[in-house]
């Protein structure tokens, strides 16, 4: 295992003010998500996805000054899901309009997801784009999104996100 760099480590002292929930209300939907910090020092992204009013997603975003990540190949996420499917998303910088995404399944147990940066593919407004996959040179936003085309409650417990 090589050198790793932590993008965010939830702990009791974590400042989560840079994390923002963005729900489908931006398009008139009624989904609700929130971020809490539990007593174990884990971030809890939870809520309900509603399909009413053309809704259907909730997302949790962390924006930061873009960092050069050319010396890394993978993003490692330690989390515990609820058995549902989520998207992990990155952007080169905060102003980029599209994201690079990868779906992942959760098991209900603690997992250490290892996602290859160049496997993340371009996505915008629910559709894949015909441009190259993520080149892994810089990163300025990471996000989690749930939007499985069904009304459902969700809970994703996040411990740490790092580069390797």
pLDDT tens-place string over residues 61-72: 999 999 999 999
pLDDT tens-place string over residues 9-58: 998 778 899 999 999 998 899 999 999 999 899 999 999 999 999 999 99
Question: Based on C-alpha coordinates, what's the Rg of the chain?
Answer: 15
Domains for the chain: give ranges and CATH numbers.
Answer: 5-163 (2.60.120.430)
Q: What average pLDDT does range 83-91 have in this prediction? A: 98
CB 37 within 8 Å of CB 60? no
The whole-model pTM stands at 0.95
Cα separation values, 30 from 50, 54, 110, 146, 152, Å: 6, 9, 30, 14, 12
């Amino acid at each position: 295992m090589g050198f790793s760099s932590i993008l965010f480590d939830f702990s009791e002292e974590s400042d989560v003010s840079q994390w923002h929930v963005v729900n489908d209300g931006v398009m008139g939907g009624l989904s609700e998500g929130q971020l809490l910090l539990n007593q174990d020092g884990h971030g809890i992204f939870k809520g309900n996805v509603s399909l009413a009013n053309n809704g259907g997603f909730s997302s949790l975003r962390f924006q930061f000054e873009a960092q050069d990540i050319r010396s890394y190949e993978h993003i490692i996420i330690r989390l515990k899901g609820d058995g549902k499917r989520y998207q992990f998303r990155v952007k080169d910088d905060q102003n980029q309009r599209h994201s690079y995404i990868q779906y992942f399944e959760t098991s209900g147990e603690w997992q250490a997801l290892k996602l290859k940066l160049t496997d993340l593919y371009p996505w915008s407004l629910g559709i894949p784009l015909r441009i190259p996959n993520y080149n892994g040179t810089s990163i300025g936003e990471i996000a989690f999104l749930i939007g499985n085309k069904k009304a459902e409650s969700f809970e994703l417990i996040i411990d740490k996100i790092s580069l390797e």
